[in-house]
């Protein structure tokens, strides 16, 4: 209860301060009423969605949208406030100067200037409408990102081999079957030799996947579809009635993957073979630093492999690569991860800038990286979680071609 009171006071302060800009910028009473009404509605809906009923930790679509609208309008207010505070400081300095330096009889603080408030509102509108766009269209703005990676020790039979990586489907967030069908067709249109899915099929519960199971069963690759578990797949963020119920949820998720044609690798490996040569696919359970589940066991998963095998590892969390894999003697040629989503928000202009707030948490957070002659691709995610949208960091379908020869990176 205390945290809700504190949150209300913070929200009320931000709303009151931002309202000063609205009141100064326009004298239209209807604009004032709309601002107040929207502020009250957004806050009330958020509190209702996150306090009513059971399963309070489970992120439903309605909760996600409540959070999305709260983030959107809080961002608007947080951009307005520094600009107003800057003007208020200047107004106070002018008033004090007039009183004590210019020796005016009364301390008079100049009124807020209309154009400053208008500028503040105009600047704040940019991220606000960007976030709204991200909720309306950005979350399904699928991009196919293609890379060609060269390896001197790639078996010749796999020269030109193409794989598609998907990650972080988060089926419990989807609300548009047509867009998902489009994305599935886009994946199949790449005609890759295999598809590798690097975890987080659902947000919380296995049954979130049921409405989408038939659609994802249409994924096609001649060498198969392989998958691993992500941190959300274990049901750790749900208040289950019993341990048995939680375990059954995980078993149901595994069965759903099997029925969709996914070969789930649980700390194990398999081989792809061509013309008497082979390529190892390794799949580990989730391993993440910073409080995330550490069920991944690379030693167990790779125990049947030869050190000289060409190896591709699927590991959901890129911190596993950073902390364990790149320093392991087995030498994994290519690791595929996801997890970060690129925070679903950032700025990317190829060749110029790539930034997201998630870069403060993860060193390897999106795209291809190379360390110690080993590669990792961190997929930005197919779906979305919490904030029901994407801005600048778009949903990703990764296509990687393996080529024999000298590295170009």
DSSP state letters, 323-354? HTGGGSTT--SEEEE--SGGGGB-EEETTTEE
Render pLDDT for 58-81 as a digit per residue (tens, 0 to 9): 778 899 999 999 999 999 999 998
Residue with tokens 């596993």: 320
Question: What pLDDT score does 342 carry?
Answer: 96
Torsion of CA 35, 39, 45, 50, to 10 degrees: 160
Average pLDDT, the chain: 92
Q: What is the mean pLDDT of residues 2-6?
A: 89
Q: Looking at the predicted structure, is the pLDDT value of residue 235 above 80?
A: yes
Task: Classify domain 141-404 at the CATH topology level.
Answer: Purple Acid Phosphatase; chain A, domain 2 (3.60.21)
Question: What pLDDT score does 104 carry?
Answer: 60
Q: Looking at the predicted structure, is the pLDDT value of residue 162 above 70?
A: yes
Distance of CA 7 to the CA centre of its chain: 25
Question: What pLDDT score does 406 carry?
Answer: 81
- Spatial separation of the C-alpha atoms in residues 2 and 181, rounded to whole Å: 45
- Spatial separation of the C-alpha atoms in residues 220 and 194, rounded to whole Å: 8
Give all strands (DSSP E) within 167-321, no chain letters: 194-197, 225-227, 262-264, 268-274, 277-283, 311-314
Render pLDDT for 83-121 as a digit per residue (tens, 0 to 9): 888 777 776 666 666 656 655 665 555 566 787 888 889
- Spatial separation of the C-alpha atoms in residues 395 and 409, rounded to whole Å: 24
Render pLDDT for 325-375 as a digit per residue (tens, 0 to 9): 999 999 999 999 999 999 999 999 888 999 999 999 999 999 999 999 999
Question: What pLDDT score does 194 carry?
Answer: 98
Per domain, the residue ranges of the chain are: 2-136, 141-404
More confident residue, 212 or 406: 212
Non-local (6+) Cβ contacts of 193 within 8 A are: 161, 162, 163, 221, 222, 223
The dihedral built from the CA positions of residue 332, 336, 340 and 343, taken in this order, carries a sign that is: positive
- Spatial separation of the C-alpha atoms in residues 67 and 59, rounded to whole Å: 10
Question: What pLDDT score does 137 carry?
Answer: 94
Q: Looking at the predicted structure, is the pLDDT value of residue 408 above 60?
A: no
Question: What pLDDT score does 409 carry?
Answer: 54
pLDDT band at 150 (very low <50, low <70, confident <90, very high): very high
Question: What pLDDT score does 94 carry?
Answer: 65
């Amino acid at each position: 209860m205390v945290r809700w009171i504190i949150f209300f006071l913070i929200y009320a302060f931000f709303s009151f301060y931002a309202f000063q800009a609205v009141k100064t910028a326009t004298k239209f009473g209807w604009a004032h009423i709309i601002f107040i009404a929207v502020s009250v509605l957004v806050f009330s809906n958020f509190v209702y969605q996150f306090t009513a009923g059971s399963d309070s930790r489970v992120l439903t679509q309605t909760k996600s949208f409540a959070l999305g609208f709260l983030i959107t309008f809080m961002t608007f207010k947080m951009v307005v406030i520094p600009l107003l505070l800057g003007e208020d400081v200047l107004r106070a300095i002018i008033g004090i100067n007039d009183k004590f330096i210019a020796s005016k009889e009364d301390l008079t603080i100049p009124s807020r200037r209309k154009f400053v408030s208008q500028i503040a509102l105009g600047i704040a509108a940019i991220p606000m409408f960007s976030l709204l766009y991200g909720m309306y269209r950005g979350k399904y703005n699928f991009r196919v990102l293609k890379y060609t990676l060269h390896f001197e020790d790639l078996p010749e039979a796999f020269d030109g081999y193409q794989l598609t990586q998907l990650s972080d489907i988060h089926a419990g967030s989807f609300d548009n079957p047509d867009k998902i069908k489009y994305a599935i067709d886009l994946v199949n249109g790449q005609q890759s030799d295999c598809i590798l899915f690097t975890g987080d099929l659902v947000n919380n519960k296995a049954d979130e996947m049921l409405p989408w199971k038939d659609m994802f069963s249409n994924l096609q690759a001649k060498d198969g579809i392989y998958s691993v578990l992500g941190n959300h797949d274990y049901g750790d963020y749900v208040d289950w009635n019993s341990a048995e119920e939680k375990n059954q949820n995980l078993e149901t998720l595994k069965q759903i993957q099997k029925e969709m044609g996914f070969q789930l690798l649980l700390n194990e490996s398999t081989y792809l073979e061509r013309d008497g040569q082979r390529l190892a696919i390794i799949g580990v359970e989730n391993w993440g630093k910073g409080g995330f589940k550490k069920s991944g066991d690379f030693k167990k998963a790779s125990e049947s492999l030869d050190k000289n095998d060409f190896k591709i590892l699927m590991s959901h969390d890129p911190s596993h690569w950073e902390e364990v894999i790149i320093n392991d003697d087995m030498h994994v040629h290519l690791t595929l991860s996801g997890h970060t989503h690129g925070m679903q928000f950032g700025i990317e202009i190829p060749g110029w800038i790539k930034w997201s707030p998630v870069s403060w948490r993860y060193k390897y957070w999106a795209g291809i990286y190379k360390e110690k002659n080993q590669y990792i691709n961190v997929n930005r995610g197919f779906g979305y979680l919490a904030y029901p949208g994407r801005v600048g960091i778009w949903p990703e379908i990764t296509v990687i071609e393996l080529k024999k020869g000298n590295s170009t990176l």
